[in-house]
Structure formats: structure tokens, C-alpha cells
Structure 1
Amino acid sequence: MNPNLLKQLAIIIKQGSISAAAEQLFVTQPTLTRAIQQLEQKVGAPVLKRTRYGVTPTEIGERLAAIGEKILAESEYSNEVIRQWNSGFRNEFTVGIDPLWEYSTVAQTTRHFIDEPRFAFHLRTGSAAAQIQLLKEEELDFLLGPAHVTVAQSTLSRTIVFRDRSAIFAGKHSPLLQHKQLIEEPVLQRQKWFVAGASAGFMNSNLPIQDNAAKITFTSSIRSVIHLLNTTDMLVSLPARLALMSGEILPEQMLLTDERFMPRRDIALWSRQEHNERPDYQRIHNDILTFAKGLDEHTPTYGLAL
């Protein structure tokens, strides 16, 4: 199979018309039409359906276009590798980052990776479960993410680099902000809740919301979480130090609650064990380790028992 045919199919479907795709590819429309005919002869069935609004894929066309998308992405990545080599970078590392870590430490994290002279970095955020899976599949080199995840870790190394606990935060319009004493579980259960990130799943089953289902759930969304804490009376559980480091959540929004509602939410540096002997890999591992532990040492504890 000529991979160019699959790339062309992917672009046609993305553009929604052969003429628009021909413009993007700098070829004539008849040339692109012949390419699709050649692909359809190979398949033995149509890959496109013509409609009054353009073209849409058939079932087999959609599947082949998905492969074409991957070829396009790999092609662009190869061009970037060449650009990096010509610019003096001799390796690229892909680092997964917890969304709240990325949000709260954006200045320090970006400055740290930019200041590394010899290597290029691809930083990506996402949920802990998804990122751990990518690390296992070697789509990531490192992960700065939750330390306490219930996944098989036989191929992974984990070093805790930033100490934290979850805490319950109230929106700025919550009457609970006036409470200066311990807030009991029945009171918490009567509140309106939303859940964010790890607290929505396996990491914190002790949240006092069993009798009052959360109205809305976020995964890897930080701006929406901040917005609700600034504009509503709703409650949410978040990693306390990272949340307060953002500067957009006030210390007085952290409620005084029973310690069982404040499980550990440390950040760890995750890596693959089999790569630990590579000198360049070990250098970046130690570099990230030093950086993250430095942030831990210089970040207030906000009265948390760490």
C-alpha cells in the first residue's frame, strides 16, 4: 500500500472536499481524484461517499484515513527530529505532567526545561491512569504525576518528589468559609459537590458525598475547577499544596476537616526501569528529580501534616 494514498485520503476527509484537499496538497483536483480511484481499486470498494455538502468516508475509508492520520503525524514528527538535530539538540524526551502540577508550577517548570541546553522536550498533560499507560507503552519517558495509583508497577520506577495531601476546598460563596472549627461529616454531606481529577475515581473513596451525588465531574480540567471555586458555593477535594501554589485558590478556602478526608496526594517521578542505565536518560531523570524536590523544599506546607 502506498502510504501517500492514505495521507491524501486523510486530508480529503479532514477538509471535507477533494478540491480543498487539492489546494492544501498543491496538486490538481483531477490528480487527487485519480489517487482516490487508485486506492479504491486496491480496496475493491468505495472509500468516499459524495454528498451535496462534499465528501464523507465510508466505513473502510474511515479506517484507512485513521491510518493516514498516523502517517501524517509521524511524518511531521520526523521533520521536527531533523529540525532539532540541525539546531544542535541530540535527543528529545517526552514528559507527562499532572494537570494541576502544570497549572500551579507553569513558570518554574517551563523555565527549567527551556534552560536545559542539549535536549528538546515534549511536555504533555493528562489523567494519571492515561499517563501511566502511556509510560508503560513507552510513549512517555518520564511522568510527574500522582504517587499513589493502583496500577501494576513491575516495569516502572517511582520516586516521591513532592509531598502533598488532598483537602476539601469550598467555593467563595460557601457559608462554610465562616466556620473556624472542625466541620463534621454530616455537614459536608449536605453540601453541593463537584469532583476533579483523582478524587473522582479510585484514589479517594472516603469523600463525604455518598448521599449527595456530585453535580459535575472534571478530568484534567483546571480552569473550570478554579472558576467554580471562585463563583459558587460548591465543594471539591484537591491536592492542597499544589492548589494553593496556583495563587488562585485562597488558604481560607481550605476547610478544617477530619484527617480521613485528607489522604496523601504526593507527586512522584515515574520512569521505566529498563532505561535507567542509559547515561542521557539518567541525567534527565536526576535533573527532574532535583528540580521537583527543590520545589517541595521551598513550597509552604500550609499547616498540612506532611
Structure 2
Amino acid sequence: MDSRLLVHLAVAIDLGSLNRAAQRLNVTQPTLTRSIKIIEDRVGAPVLIRESSGVVATDIGEKLAEKGRAVLSESESADDAVRLWRDGQLSEIRLGLGPLLAATLLPQLTELYMRRKWPYRLRLHSASAAPLIRRLNDHRLDMALAPAQLRLHQERLVQEVVFKDRLKIFAGTKSPLSKPNAKVTRVDLENGNWLIAGARAGIHGTEEEIFQYLGIEPKRIRMAISGDLQIPLHLLKTTDALIALPERLTNAAGDLGGARIIDFDFPEIRRDIALWMRKTDQNRTEYLHFRKVLLEYLEEKQ
């Protein structure tokens, strides 16, 4: 099937509108409509469902759109290569990182990148750990900064711990457990208002397993959040929430408004940050350069 037709279908589905898709593709709407009809004639079934709010894909339409997205991605990669060459850069590193890293340690590293002329472009993507590793496996990312303790498909990946951290329980400013020298009992912890951060990160230990490991059974889990940092940090500053977060990264976020780590004899749970990449890429020149710069930068933060 003509790849151009598949690209037309993919853009129409992703934008949910034939009119917007035609504008994006710089073709007329009748041309785009003909492309869709040619595909449907070839398939023998509809690939789009037309609704009052726009268009949505049928099952076969979505499968064909995936092929169109791959073609479009390859075309955009070629355009990027031309732009990089014109800018005097040899390649690009697509780096994934979690929202807590993006808000704490990485801003200064990006400032360092902006001040120096590195022979590659950085493209940053922030998400929780599980999507980052999936993107790395699918070749949509080149490297990722994500927790070392993951239980995901990693056969093609390697990791190197670059930042050591551990999980701690933080008590919000309105919690009596955040008071200096507060006497904390297991009953206090079990009766607290718990919030789960990184609920779908894919890290070893679900919230139930973590609580079991810590030896507590919370009676209330009020909220679970994934892929966001501002909400749990805001709730620490304004409520009585109890949240399990990486100690060093959370403290690096700045003023917590009086929220404190609970002084209790918990077993240690590691939350080290690793630099992940595909095994086949670990000796590429630009990756080795970025790894060197990253390690030097993070060593100053240890």
C-alpha cells in the first residue's frame, strides 16, 4: 500500500479531523478524502468512523495508522538529520527522565548544555519510569534516567547507577507527625492519610508490597498519582498527607513548607537512579560523552 496514504490516515486519526489533517499535510480536503477511500476500497471495510465531533479509527484503521506513523517518524528523522547537519551537529540524543529528576537535578545540567557547544542535540522527554523504558525498547528514546529498581522487559537494555537514593516517608505540614521530635507509632502511620506517588511507575514493589515490607497496613489511601511531581509536593506543603518519596531528590526540590521525614525505624528501600540504554548503543561516541558529563555533574551533587 502507498505509504503516503497511510501517513494521511495516521494524521487524520491523530488529529481527529479531516479538515485539520488536510491543513497539517498541506493538501486539500478532497485529496485527503480520496486517500481514505482508496485505503477503504483496498481493505474492504471502513478505516474511519465519522462522528459529529470528528473522526475516530476502526480497529483496522488504527493498525494501518501505526504503519503510517512509522513512515512519518522516519521522514521526520531524515528532516531532523538535515537540520542537525545545517546546525553543525552530528546527531541527537533523545533523553527520557522522570518528573522528579526534571524538576530537581536536571535543570542545571541543561544550563551546562546550553553554555557549551556539544556535538549533538538533546531532546528531553519527561514521563514516569514504565513509559520511559517502553520508549527505550521501542527505539523512541536513546537513553533514560529512571529508577534502577524496575521490573520491566529489560533483556536488550543495560543500566548504570548514577545517583544513589532511598525511599522515605514524608509527612505533610498539617500532619502532627511532621512536628519536630514527634513520637510516631505504627498506629499513627496506619491511620494517616496516605497518597501514593509514582503509582504506575513500574518500580519493584507496588504500594501494597511496600507497605507490607514496612510492616504497616494503612486504613486510608486517599489518592494515587503517576507521572506528576507538583501535586504531591503541593499536598505536602498544604495537607496532612503521608507520601513515600525518594529522600534526596525530594529534598532537592526545595522548600517543602514544613513537611518532614518521619523518624521511624523503617527497613531501607533503595530508589537509586540509573542511566539506561540499549546494549547495542552503549559504545556510541555521543552516548559516551553524555555519560561522562552526566557522571561528573552528578558526582558534584552526591
- TM-score normalized with structure 2 length: 0.84
Deviation at 1:199, TM superposition (A): 9.6
Q: Does 1:264 align with 2:265?
A: no
The change in CA–CA distance for 1:207 and 1:44 in structure 2 (over 3 A counts) is same
- CA shift digits 1:77-111 (9 cap, x unpaired): 33222211210110111222232111112431321
Alignment of 1:58-97 (within 5 A): 58-97=58-97
> What is the distance in 2 between the residues matched to 1:252 and 1:124?
29
Count residues with an aligned counterpart.
295
Q: Where does residue 300 of structure 1 map in the other structure?
A: none
The change in CA–CA distance for 1:123 and 1:49 in structure 2 (over 3 A counts) is closer
Alignment of 1:47-126 (within 5 A): 47-114=47-114, 115-126=116-127
CA contact (8 A) 2:142 2:278 kept: yes
CA contact (8 A) 2:176 2:182 kept: no
Deviation at 1:270, TM superposition (A): 3.0
Q: Where does residue 158 of structure 1 map in the other structure?
A: 159
Deviation at 1:169, TM superposition (A): 0.8
The change in CA–CA distance for 1:116 and 1:207 in structure 2 (over 3 A counts) is farther
Identity %, equivalent residues: 36
Runs (5+) with no aligned partner, structure 1: 297-306
CA contact (8 A) 1:199 1:237 kept: no
The change in CA–CA distance for 1:42 and 1:244 in structure 2 (over 3 A counts) is same
CA contact (8 A) 1:184 1:258 kept: no
Q: Where does residue 285 of structure 1 map in the other structure?
A: 291
The change in CA–CA distance for 1:14 and 1:170 in structure 2 (over 3 A counts) is same
Give the AA of the match of 2:265. D
> Does the residue aligned with 1:202 lie in a helix, a strand or coil?
coil
Runs (5+) with no aligned partner, structure 2: none
Deviation at 1:138, TM superposition (A): 4.4
Q: Does 1:255 align with 2:262?
A: yes
Give the AA of the match of 2:290. I
Give the AA of the match of 1:167. K
The change in CA–CA distance for 1:68 and 1:168 in structure 2 (over 3 A counts) is same
The change in CA–CA distance for 1:42 and 1:290 in structure 2 (over 3 A counts) is same
Alignment of 1:1-306 (within 5 A): 1-114=1-114, 115-150=116-151, 155-197=156-198, 202-203=204-205, 204-205=210-211, 206-207=213-214, 209-250=216-257, 253-260=260-267, 262-296=268-302
- CA shift digits 1:174-205 (9 cap, x unpaired): 12222504522221111110111279863435
Of stretches 10-19 and 185-194 in structure 1, the one that deviates more from structure 2 is 10-19
> What is the distance in 2 between the residues matched to 1:98 and 1:23?
34
> What is the distance in 1 between the residues matched to 2:256 and 2:53?
48
Deviation at 1:235, TM superposition (A): 0.4
> Does the residue aligned with 1:121 lie in a helix, a strand or coil?
strand
CA contact (8 A) 1:93 1:119 kept: yes
> What is the distance in 1 between the residues matched to 2:108 and 2:69?
34
The change in CA–CA distance for 1:228 and 1:23 in structure 2 (over 3 A counts) is same
RMSD, matched Cα: 2.8
Give the AA of the match of 2:94. T
CA contact (8 A) 2:143 2:277 kept: yes
CA contact (8 A) 1:189 1:208 kept: no
> What is the distance in 1 between the residues matched to 2:123 and 2:228?
20
Give the AA of the match of 1:94. R
> Does the residue aligned with 1:235 lie in a helix, a strand or coil?
strand
> What is the distance in 2 between the residues matched to 1:179 and 1:60?
61
Deviation at 1:211, TM superposition (A): 3.8
